[in-house]
Amino acid sequence: MQHYRDEQSQAYDYRGKRGVVLLRVSTEEQERKYGFPSQLRSIREKLIEPRGIRILDEEKYIKRDTYTGMEFREREILTEILEMAKRREFDVLVMDVLDRLGRIGLPREIYRAELLMNGVRILTTKPEEHADDNSSLGEMIRLLHGFKAEQERNDIIRRTQNGKRERVEQDHKLLGTHPAKFGWKFADEGKGSYIRNHDPLKIGETTLLDENGEPWTEVKVRRHMFYLADHGWTIRRISAYLTEQHIPAKLNARWDAHLVRSFLAKREHYLASNQPILAYGYLPILDEKNELYTEQRVARLICEMDEKGISERKIGAYLTEKHIPTGRESFWHPSTVMKMLADEYVIGKAAVYRTRIVRDERGRPVEKKREKGDWIYLPDGVVPPLLVTEDGKPDIEQFERVQKRLKTNKERSSRNHKNPTEYLLRGGIAKCGHCGSSMSTTVSGGSKGCKDSYKPSYRCSAGNLKPSRCSSGQGATIMRHILDPMVWSVAVEIILDPSAVDCAVEARRTADPNAERRQYITSELAKIKARQKRLRDRLEDEDLDDDTYTDIKARLKELADRKRGYEDELNAETNIHEEWKREQEKLRNFHRRCREMREQLNDPEYETDYAFKREAIEFFGITAIVWKTDHNPRIEIMCNPPSIVSNPT
C-alpha cells in the first residue's frame, strides 16, 4: 500500500481529523461508467484508512462533482466546501489527485489558500503533487503541475478545433458533435451530412397520426409549421397545435435545473395537487411499485432533495435517471417554434461556427453569437432542404414570406405594451390557483368600437392557450382594478411595520463574497513585485556571469507571467465585489425609500410611483393566487417569507 510521504504532511498528524472527500468527473457519461467508485476506493486505501481520517457522515462529507476541471467560479460543490470550511465543519479535504480540484494552477492555488485561511489542509494520493506543502517550493511545484495540465488541455483543444475546422472547410462536413436537427438524421456513422428524416413519429409502439390519418414525420412537422405560419397562424397558436398533436419535443423529455426550479417556485401548488403527471400529455406512468406519479409525489421528492442541499441540476439528473415523466415531453415552447421557423437549414443553407464561448466580466463562460460574416456555410447538398417547390428546389419565397410575417407579428405583439406600467402584477406575480400558471395581461368586455368600455384584467395563460392545460378549463380571470390594490395593500402593511422591513432587508444582506480571496491575491501580487525588484537590482550588478544573467531574466519572465495571471484573477474578483456592493447599495436605498414612504402615507395627495410599487412587491415576495368566482377563497395573497406579514388575505 502506497503511503503519502512529503516533508510537510509528515509533520502534521491527521489521525482523528475530520475529512471531506472530493470526487470529480468531467461528464455525466464518465460518472455513469467508472468515475466515482474507483476514486473513492483509492482515497480510502491510501489516505483515509492509513491516516486515520474520520468521515463523519458519508452522505454529507463525500462530495461528488460532475464538472469540467477548467471552471472554478461556477462549481457549486467548491462553494459549498468553502462555506463548510468557514463554519469549521472539517479539517482536511482529500482527493485522489489535485486535478479534481481544478486543472488551472493559479485559481486552484487561490482556492487552496482560502481553505488554509480557514484551517483546512489538502491531501492527495500522489506525494509528488505536494498538495499539503506550504513552502515556496511546494507552491512552485503545484503551479508547475497546473501549468502542465493546462497546457496539455490547451493542446488537446487546439488539435480538436483544428481538426473540426479542417472537417468543415476542407472536407465540407457537418461537425457532428450534436444530435441531428429536427427534420433530419445523419446520413451515416461519420455524421458528416444529413438526409431527410421520413421515419414515422412514435410514442412507444404507437405511431402518431395527423388529421388525415397519415403518420407524422419530422419532415412533415417542419413543413406544416411553415404552412401554418404562412397562413397567418401565430407562434403561440402553432406551439399549442403541436402540443395537442403530442409531437415529441426532444429537449423536454429530461428534467433539467430550470424545470426543477419551476417546481420549487410553485411548491405550494404542487404539494397540494394530486393530479397525475402524464407523459406526452396523455400517458399515465407507474413507478416500480405500480403507483401513479402525481404532482404531489414528485414535488415532495424534489423538496426533500432540495432541503438536503442537493443542487437543482443533480435533482434533475436523478429524476431523469428514474424515468419520472416531466409531463412536458410533447410541450412545444413558442421560442422553440420561433427558432425553427427562422432556421435557414430548412432551405439547405447550413452554417456552422455561428457562436463562440467568451468570458464575461466575472470570468464565467457565456455563449455569444458571431457576426454573420464569420459563419461558415457548407456546400449545397450537405443538408438537403425541407422546404421545397414542386421541382425539388429550395422554396426560398415561402421562407422569406414567413420571415416577414414573423417580423410583423413581433412588432404588433401584445407583449410590447405601449403602457407597461398599466399592470402592477404582470410578469408572474399573479398565479392561477387551479393550475399554478402565471396569469397574463389582457382586456375584457367592451363594445365594438368603444375603447373606454374595455377593462384591463389578468387571465390564466395556460388555460387561455389550451383549456386542457388548466384543471378548471380556461382558468381564472380577474379585473386589474380589483387585484392590483389588494396586492399593494399587503405591501403597504409590511412597509408600515419598521421591524418587518428591517427583517426583510437583513435577510437579503450577505457578507463580502470574496474578501479572503482578494486579500490573498493582493498579498501574492505584493510578494511578486518585491521579488521582481530584487531580481532587477541584481541585474544591475556588473559582475554577473552570463549563466546567472540568463537565469535571472528567465525568472523575471516567469514572475511577469504569474503577475499577469494574478492581476486577471483580481480583476474578475473585483468585478464580483463591485456587483455585490451594488446589491448592498440597492438594499440601503430600498430601506430608505420605505422609511420615507411611511412618513408620507398620511398625506392624501401622496402617490407612490409604479417602479417602487413593483420593487416592493417583488422584494417582499408577494404573490396573488386567483381562483374562479365560485371558489372559496377566491383570492389568496402570500408573502415569502410568510412571517413578514401578519394576516395575508
Whole-number pLDDT of residue 50: 93
Nearest C-alpha neighbor of 263 from the set 322, 341, 328: 328
Beta strands in 402-483 (DSSP E): 430-432, 439-444, 455-460, 477-479
Report residue 152's pLDDT band, with 50, 70 and 90 as the boundaries. confident
Domain CATH for 42: 3.40.50.1390
Q: Read off the pLDDT band of 606 (50, 70, 90).
A: confident
Angle at 233 between CA 230 and CA 238, to 5 degrees: 110
- Cα–Cα distance, 529 to 344 (Å, whole number): 54
- Tell me: the pLDDT tens digits for 278-300? 898 888 988 888 899 999 999 99
Domain-embedded: residue 465: no
Question: What mean pLDDT comes out for the span 187-215?
Answer: 93
Q: How many structural domains compose the chain? A: 2
**In the listed set 329, 351, 366, which residue is the last one of a domain according to the structure?**
329
Asked if residue 8 belongs to a domain, the reply is yes
- Per-residue confidence (pLDDT) for residue 298, from 0 to 100: 94
Averaged pLDDT of the chain: 87
Q: For residue 261, what are the domain limits?
A: 257-329
d(C-alpha 630, C-alpha 627), whole Å: 8
Does a structural domain hold residue 509?
no
Please report whether residue 275 resides in a domain. Answer: yes
Domain boundary residue among 306, 329, 352? 329
How confident is the model over 359-408, as pLDDT tens digits? 777 777 788 888 988 899 999 999 999 999 999 999 999 999 999 998 88
Structure confidence at residue 34 as a pLDDT band (50, 70, 90): low
Domain boundary at 81, 114, 134, which? Answer: 134
Q: Where is pLDDT greater, at 617 or 449?
A: 617
In a domain, 566, yes or no: no
Q: Please, are residues 212 and 199 in contact by the beta-carbon 8 Å criterion? A: no
Q: Check whether 626 has a pLDDT greater than 60.
A: yes
Examine residue 93 and state whether it is found in any structural domain, yes or no. Answer: yes
| 645 located within any domain | no
Task: Identify whether 288 is part of a domain.
Answer: yes
**Predicted pLDDT at 143:** 84
Per residue in 318-334, pLDDT tens?
999 899 999 889 999 99
Which tens digit of pLDDT belongs to each residue from 437-460?
A: 888 888 865 544 555 556 889 998
pLDDT in tens, 537-560: 888 877 888 888 899 999 999 899
Task: Show the beta-strand stretches assigned E in 228-299.
Answer: 278-279, 283-284
pLDDT of residue 465: 66
pLDDT of residue 617: 94
